[in-house]
Chain A
Amino acid sequence: GAVVSQHPSRVICKSGTSVKIECRSLDFQATTMFWYRQFPKQSLMLMATSNEGSKATYEQGVEKDKFLINHASLTLSTLTVTSAHPEDSSFYICSAVDLRNTDTQYFGPGTRLTVL
């Protein structure tokens, strides 16, 4: 099956620093990737759609200046949490849509962000 990776899997940072999370589709191309966040024991909430070659589109209530998204190639999207604060601590998960089968999203393993 299609594989999506995320890096890093875990990150701990100090308040005020920025953290970059990478999402890669390893064996397929994806013009569209999505970023979700998940709080403990809760569901996934869609944050934004990452579009290759164009600006990301953000869901209502998500600060675009806080969560910078760059989709530089057909296999890589990055999410940068800028000036992170403890309330940004969460599990961030990306997904990618295979160009050859747009019905299914393939999810990365997630990144656990802890802001001290």
Chain B
Amino acid sequence: SQQGEEDPQALSIQEGENATMNCSYKTSINNLQWYRQNSGRGLVHLILIRSNEREKHSGRLRVTLDTSKKSSSLLITASRAADTASYFCATDYYGNNRLAFGKGNQVVVIP
């Protein structure tokens, strides 16, 4: 079974609003990554947060990691229509860079 598991959300928000999605995992990790996938396309790496980090920013993205709760969140601030995509978290669950992906969150940003 997959390691990372997002709450199975389909978010529909207005442009300019913030979008938050969550991910939980089951075992200890070295790092957790977030990816974006546009419909029918490959994945784009967004951000990596290490197990000894609690929060990380990259542009309009903010990722938190709570290793005590084995959970992570991704916040997209001031969303744009171009942010419409599916977002996946992934952990190095299997070791040696072999990633286990969560179910994904589909985000629709309405212009």
Contacts and interface: CB of A to CB of B under 8 A. Distances in A.
Interface of A: 4, 6, 32, 34, 36, 42-46, 49, 59, 91, 93, 95, 97, 102-110, 112
Contact of A107 (B40, B43, B98): B43
Interface of B: 2, 31, 33, 35, 40-45, 48, 88, 94, 96-104
A43 B48 contact: no
Given A103-B31, A107-B44, A43 B102 contact: yes
Q: Is the interface of B mostly helix, strand, loop or mixed?
A: loop
Contacts of A6: 42
A93 B98 contact: no
Contacts of B97: 32, 34, 97, 102, 105
A104 B48 contact: yes
A112 B98 CA distance: 22
A35 B6 CA distance: 22
Contacts, number: 57
Nearest to B41: A109
A34 B100 CA distance: 12
A46 B43 contact: no
Contacts of B100: 46
Contacts of A108: 42
A73 B96 CA distance: 20
Nearest to B104: A43
Contacts of B43: 44, 93, 95, 107
B90 to A, nearest CB: 8
A51 to B, nearest CB: 10
A44 B101 contact: yes
A64 B41 CA distance: 26
B44 A34 contact: no
B48 A44 contact: no
Nearest to B106: A41
Nearest to B43: A107
Contacts of A46: 94, 98-100
